[in-house]
Amino acid sequence: MKRICVIDGQGGGIGATLIKYLKEAFGESVEVVALGTNAIATSQMLKAGANRGATGESAICWTVRSADCIVGPIAVTWANSMLGEVTPKIAEAVVSSPALKVLIPLSQERVEVVGVTKEPLPHLVQAAVEGKIKEVIQDV
């Protein structure tokens, strides 16, 4: 079974939206693991339908090593983003994982990703799930 790790922090809203779409697209044919930088984010992602969940730096760093796909906001690759919730170790573990990273270009940081169109979260998530994630789930 393919493992998709969804990483989010703060209130977990982006991660919960991602998990909702992933479950609609794949049902129980994939394992969706909610990885929260805090307990609230993990709880919200579990409520959205994740198969399992874990919280914190150690859990994230350990679990992304065995993922087939990592999904989350682009800020999960930036040290000290999300008001410091993404530690340098988390950012390094995500970037170093052999998994495909599908990153949603949303950020509250003072960073502008040039060449990316501004779309509402549901449109970005739909494009990620129906485009790249379906491709990697079938190929892995």
- The number of CA neighbours under 13 Å toward the Cβ of 121 is 14
pLDDT of residue 129: 84
- Which position has the token pair 């609230």? 40
Show the domains of the chain with their CATH numbers.
Answer: 2-139 (3.40.50.720)
Distance (Å) of CA 15 to CA 46, 73, 139: 10, 8, 23
C-alpha to C-alpha distance for 59 and 79, rounded to whole angstroms: 17
pLDDT tens digits, 82-99: 999 999 999 999 999 999
pLDDT tens digits, 106-135: 767 788 788 887 888 888 888 888 877 887
| DSSP at 108 | S
Residues 6+ apart with CB under 8 A from 37: 7, 8, 9, 10, 55, 56, 57, 60, 82, 85, 86, 90
Distance (Å) of CA 107 to CA 22, 38, 116, 138: 21, 17, 12, 29
pLDDT tens digits, 25-65: 999 999 999 999 999 999 999 999 999 999 999 999 999 99
Q: Residue 138: pLDDT above 80?
A: no
